[in-house]
Amino acid sequence: MPYVSVQNLTIEFPLYHLGARSLKKRILARSPLRLRQDASNRVVVSALRELDFRIGPGERVALIGGNGAGKTTLLRTLAGIYQPVSGRLEVQGLIGALIDPAAGMDQESTGRENIILRGLFRGLDEATSESMAEEIGAFSGLGEFLDVPVRSYSAGMQVRLSFAIATVMEPEVLLMDEWFLAGDADFRQRAREKLERLVEHADILVLASHDMGVVREWCTRAIRLEAGRIVADGPVEAVLAA
Amino acid sequence: MLDQTQAQVAPSPLYICDAAQPRRRAAAIEDLATGLSRWRLPAALARLDIRNRYRGSVLGPFWLTLSTAVMVGGLGLLYSSLFKLPLADYLPFLAVSLIVWNMIAQIVADACISLTSAEGIIRQLALPYSVHITRCVMRNALIAAHSLPLILVVFLACGVLPGPEALLALPGLALVAVNAFAVALFLGMLCARFRDIAPIVASAMQLAFFLSPVLWKPELLGERQVWLPLNPFYVVMETVRGPLVEGGASALVWLSAVLYTALACAVAFAFFVRFRGRIAFWV
């Protein structure tokens, strides 16, 4: 059964280009909370500090908190992009990450070429990726623009294409940033239906969001992060009320 | 739809990352194995790199062929008279030297940005890092493929064709490719962490160009020739150049080239095992 288990997880970003000692001291003196010096005298930002939680199958978890609280860093860590400096992370299940819509998109290539490229990024072969092109083309509603370089797309068209490409998957653990609300009104409706289906099939949803309406609607549990720490964890209403 | 079939065939994957038991070596080996088995992705990305770099250009990558041809012609005329060698003798040597050297120099320069140039992908998608390294090697192989045929043109023009031993240049090229992978891995990581390495590498390569027998023939060193196998650039270059213009490379050159390659691979692998987990924070 899919699950996510996080024990004592800490992520620190080293700031490498603070060479001058006096500058370092000044910066450290001014923000004693999240910037600190590690064992080898580097200045590090504690992005996530000693997180402990477990997500079981069927749970719909919202990560909430202000800007810089560590929501996206936590999503990226769960996706396997950042490795923790201490603590343990276990994710059982096929991970699908919708973090940056434009990741791996080549601006000079056509929509169709990008669909195939994204298939290769996910480890599929050309033929399988090619067969997705029609479905994605139809869903994104790009029509004849599918064979035009992506750089000539409008912002809305780019979002539609990346949304369509990113959501052709059936992950067991779905990690999602809140960007999916972009797009024009007509598309938003179809995007919702698609996401609902995706979320329904996934065993676990982890959603980072600022929008409490979205959180109430999609999630059953909320984890509030503040300065890289968990300050509240529980049913959505309880956490939002606190 | 598609991933579901995969999920049914294989049991759902378990991703464990424990800072207390990092299993660094196993993770690095798995990274290399998955990255190399998914060669289609770096191949597609390398093709895109070449296409995007020369977008809208009439000659495209053939500009490199043209500039190499001009350089071979110009330097051939100059140095054959400086060294007092007949042009038909010197030109094939110079053509092979310059083309092979350009390939090595390009690889080393590009190796410095093998990971930093993929920053956008590294921070967004969980991919084996060896994919970016393979992409860098393949991109340089494609660029080199535009200049290597020039060697044949010069051979035909000078009326000298090497014998069947020229086929030994192929294992030489394979050795260059293995070195390219090791160097792209090592320098890619080092340059991601320390941004001053790339300019240092650039000046070191310029020095290496003059210190290695690229323009001058090794015989000109006289007795001191015996020290040449210590120069890694010379031995790796010679495994390609020797079979093409000198009727084969000596066993000592091959031995030294293989040893240097093994050393490069060992250093790159050790570095990769130790620091693989930090790459995402460095780029």
Q: Is residue A35 part of a domain?
A: yes
Q: Is residue A227 part of a domain?
A: yes
| Residues A115 and A189 placed together within one structural domain of the fold | yes
pLDDT at A95 over 80: yes
Measured CA to CA, the distance from residue A79 to residue A83 in angstroms comes to 10
The tens digit of pLDDT for each residue in B46-74 reads 999 999 888 888 888 888 889 999 999 99
Whole domain around residue A133: which residue ranges?
A: 111-202
Cβ–Cβ gap B20/A81 under 8 Å: no
Q: Where are the domains of chain B?
A: 38-44+63-282
A10 contacts in chain B (CB < 8 Å): 19
B125 contacts in chain A (CB < 8 Å): 81, 97, 103-104, 121
Any chain B CB within 8 A of the CB of A109?
yes
Q: Is residue A61 part of a domain?
A: yes
A109 contacts in chain B (CB < 8 Å): 48
pLDDT at B258 over 80: yes
| Residues A211 and A155 placed together within one structural domain of the fold | no
Q: Is residue A53 part of a domain?
A: yes
| Residues A42 and A76 placed together within one structural domain of the fold | yes
Q: CA neighbours within 13 Å on the CB side: how many for B195?
A: 7
Window from A70-79, A142-151, A179-188 with minimum mean pLDDT: A179-188
| Residues A140 and A59 placed together within one structural domain of the fold | no
Nearest by Cα to A142 from A159, A128, A126: A159
The tens digit of pLDDT for each residue in A45-73 reads 888 988 999 999 889 999 998 888 889 89
Confidence label for B5 from pLDDT (cuts 50, 70 and 90): very low
Q: Is residue A105 part of a domain?
A: no
Nearest by Cα to B3 from A1, A201, A175, A52: A201
Nearest to A121 among B1, B7, B41 (CB): B41
Any chain A CB within 8 A of the CB of B6?
yes
Cβ–Cβ gap A14/B281 under 8 Å: yes
| Residues A188 and A211 placed together within one structural domain of the fold | no
Q: What share of chain A is helix, strand, coil (3-state, %, to 5)?
A: 40, 30, 30
Q: Is residue A102 part of a domain?
A: no
pLDDT at B3 over 50: no
| Residues A47 and A88 placed together within one structural domain of the fold | yes
A194/B212: higher pLDDT: B212
Q: What is the CATH number of the domain that holds A214?
A: 3.40.50.300
> In chain A, which residue ranges form alpha helices assigned H by DSSP?
21-30, 71-78, 111-121, 126-140, 155-166, 185-201, 212-218, 236-241
- Give the total number of structural domains in chain A: 2
pLDDT at A185 over 80: no
For residue A8, give the H/E element and its range: strand A3-15
The tens digit of pLDDT for each residue in B144-163 reads 999 999 999 999 998 888 88
Q: Is residue A99 part of a domain?
A: no
Q: A21 vs chain B: nearest CA distance in angstroms?
A: 18
Q: Is residue A58 part of a domain?
A: yes
Which chain A residue is nearest to residue B196, measuring alpha carbons?
A17
